[in-house]
Amino acid sequence: MLWQRTADRGLRTRVSLEEKDNMRSKIRVRYYNLFSHFYDAFVKMHSGDPGGKLRDHLAGKVGLEHGDAALDICTGTGAMLSSLCGQVDQEGLVIGLDFSRGMLKAARSKLGARANVFLVEADVGNLPFKSDAFSGVTCSHAFYELKGDASDKCLGEINRILKPGKRFLMMEHDIPKTRFVRTLFYIRIFLMGRSKALEILRDEERLFRNNFSRVEKSNTEDGRSKIIACEKA
């Protein structure tokens, strides 16, 4: 275990980095639980995706077939899940994963009961699935929410659970054109941690190339979002 020395009222105490990470993670889960109560209303006001067209587009690019198993990480209130269901049909399986129970509750009440859709509460850094289990994984407008080394851990885990030759697609906002929104965009990225933010801004694809053999970047039709498609060797 790694240890970090901290001063506490003159006494030297030791706090494990693992404990610190756990505490930070709990705070983040609480934040998202709270946010879950107005997340959909917030997205409705600010999203450039009325009717979920962008998410349908993303699901269509994964390369899923009827009967496949698909996973959406950081699913939030489950905005991607209906689009993925459309790709795998009734015989397929769709799983939405998130570490916020509040977000998952909101997803469940929005989706209703569907026999082939499951919601799983877990951290993306430790996916509770067998290796080579999924034919496609998506992450919509959530990758930049992963702090510290969570994005690296998450990519390693996605590579593990994907079947060979199958794809992970992540969609995120591209650098906005208007100054105010661009400032908000940079704040969001730098909240990931300074070194991660610089890595993303300098050469984002390299982050994905560390885990995947083929990485392709494209833009959505409206030019506001980008899609990074990663294929497992």
Ligand X SMILES: C[S@@+](CC[C@H](N)C(=O)[O-])C[C@H]1O[C@@H](n2cnc3c(N)ncnc32)[C@H](O)[C@@H]1O
- Where does this chain bind ligand X (CB under 6 A)? 32, 74-76, 79-80, 98-100, 103, 123-124, 140-142, 145-146, 150
Report, in Å, the least distance between residue 172 CB and ligand X: 10
Nearest to 215 by CA among 200, 198, 199, 227: 227
Nearer to ligand X, 94 or 124 (CB): 124
Tokens of 123: 């951290």
Report, in Å, the least distance between residue 139 CB and ligand X: 7
For the chain, give the number of residues. Answer: 233
Contact 91/55 with Cβ under 8 angstroms? no
Report, in Å, the least distance between residue 190 CB and ligand X: 16
Tokens of 150: 């969570």
Report, in Å, the least distance between residue 99 CB and ligand X: 4
Nearer to ligand X, 13 or 195 (CB): 195
Nearer to ligand X, 122 or 175 (CB): 122
Nearer to ligand X, 3 or 186 (CB): 186
- The answer to whether the Cα torsion of 35, 22, 94, 157 is positive or negative is positive
DSSP states along 88-156 = HTTTSEEEEEES-HHHHHHHHHHH---TTEEEEE--TTS--S-TT-EEEEEEES-GGG--TTHHHHHHH
Q: Which residues fall within 8 angstroms of residue 9, CB to CB, at 6 or more apart?
A: none
Tokens of 223: 């030019």
Report, in Å, the least distance between residue 113 CB and ligand X: 21
Closest residue by beta carbon to ligand X: 76
Report, in Å, the least distance between residue 23 CB and ligand X: 14
Tokens of 197: 């933010």
Nearer to ligand X, 3 or 42 (CB): 42
Amino acid identity at 131:
S
Nearer to ligand X, 84 or 162 (CB): 84
